[in-house]
Amino acid sequence: MRFSLIFWFSILFLYSSCNKIDLYSDLVGSWEHVNQSHRIEINFKKNNQYELNIGPIGYRDLILYKGNYIINKKKKPNTIDLKNTSNFSGSLYGIIKNIDTNTIQISKFSSKWRLRPISFEDSNALLFHRITIKGNI
């Protein structure tokens, strides 16, 4: 009986430790979303800074935003806050989900944290695909 209890406790411990993977450890790098008319590129840096480029397809002049990002992995869905953004007064609040190593989903942002989306829907989320690999920035 005692051996059985220790065995199951060990299995439970190993299973729980395997699930503690940092979902956003590989977030660092450049990510891109392209639709029919616009291109959005976001570059997450190691020091929790980001650069966001937005503009129409085919134009070199993109609108550039820079600032800090915070991801809260304790909340479900995980939240992302963009703070201290250049060319914008205030912070932006959204949710983020890691689809796989080369795809993330980010909701549209709200300027008020209480109005942050609480789930992903086709109308409020964008898929971003990796365009650079961590460490090649």
Contact 73, 24 (CB under 8 A): yes
CA–CA separation, 27 and 75 (whole Å): 17
Condensed to tens digits (0 to 9), the pLDDT of residues 64-116 reads 899 999 999 999 999 999 999 998 888 999 999 999 989 999 999 999 988 99
**Predicted pLDDT at 24:** 55
Third-level CATH fold of 23-130: Lipocalin (2.40.128)
Euclidean distance between CA atoms 88 and 65, whole angstroms = 8
What does the pLDDT look like over 23-59, one tens digit per residue? 456 789 999 999 888 899 999 998 899 999 998 887 7
Q: Is the pTM of this model over 0.85?
A: no
Cα separation of 7 and 14, whole Å? Answer: 11
Pairing, β 29-34 against β 38-44:
antiparallel
* C-alpha span between 129 and 95 (Å, rounded): 16
What pLDDT is attached to residue 99? 92
Per-residue pLDDT for 137 more than 70?
A: no
Residue range 20-24: mean pLDDT, rounded: 45
**From CA 67, how far away is CA 14, in angstroms rounded?**
38
